[in-house]
Amino acid sequence: MVNMNNKVLIVGKSGYIAGALGDFLETNTNNIIKYSSSSNVHSDIKLNLQNMNDFNYKQIEDIDVVYMLAGISSPDFCSEQQKLCREINVIGTKKFISVCLKHQKKVIFASSDVVYGQKEKAVDEQTMTYSPIGIYGQMKQEIEEYFQNDKNFKSTRFSYVFSRDDKFTKYLYECEKNNTKASIFHPLKRSIISLSDVLTSLAELPNLWDKIESPFVNFCGHELISRLDIAKSIQRLCLPQLKYEVVKPSTSFYEARPETINMKSIFLKKILKRNIETLDEMVKNSCPKT
């Protein structure tokens, strides 16, 4: 767990992972500061990645660990709105991380498995050949390359992060509730990981900083899993009335994201100090309690 004496900044409070991380860490320490650009979300500091000239850097003077989890994460939106997304995901992000590193803050940056591109064969943190598909993946790789030689920078490459609240799982639950048939894009395969494993690993990473001799840590499970596999597991273990149909995505769908990313991790089990959850374990833990 993050050292109780460390003061932590979570950038991106309104996001899926950032919001959950804030709640997770608050059970263990009060030294948490949160930022969100959303006008609907209360935040403790003011930071606009599109206008870093107005940011008061004195607000982060006593911060020890920065979780840089903000940014636009939709591959399709990044392709459609490249100028806006570059201002936030690259230009503003570079400026903010640069200042944090200049002041000796430990920075944990949220990256993605898409930096690898289409990969049928297994890749891990020692794989140094990248071919990101889509603007989103290219922007993540650009940030990684820019900071990878700084000892206080680590990039966490997220695969599909599963929980009851992820978009796809929520969609399946809504379909079952409304007695409608879910449409499942297939094939689309990732080494999915539970939100619980992600939060535990993010909290532990600052304590193992010097023992993880890599600027990159892959956050992924052991199994290569499709959305169809997820739906079948949820139907079998949680929602027996769930109905679905398999839909083959259009060619343009794969222009923004790879069909398969077979990502593995050398370090994650060391950080977790336990086994990574399997798909069925993730799904069972997400089932409604009866």
Task: For the full predicted model, state whether its pTM sits above 0.85.
Answer: yes
pLDDT at 39: 42
- Cα 225 to Cα 268: distance, rounded to the nearest angstrom: 18
* Chunked mean pLDDT (size 10), the chain, 290 residues: 73 85 77 53 64 78 90 91 94 94 95 96 93 93 97 97 96 96 95 96 94 96 96 97 94 88 96 94 86
pLDDT at 255: 84
pLDDT at 32: 63
Of residues 141, 16, 27, the one with CA closest to residue 69: 16
Q: How far is CA 216 from CA 185, 190, 279, in A?
A: 29, 18, 24
Of residues 61, 46, 153, 138, the one with CA closest to residue 98: 153
pLDDT at 29: 60
Secondary structure letter of residue 42 according to DSSP: -
Architecture of domain 8-286: 3-Layer(aba) Sandwich (3.40)
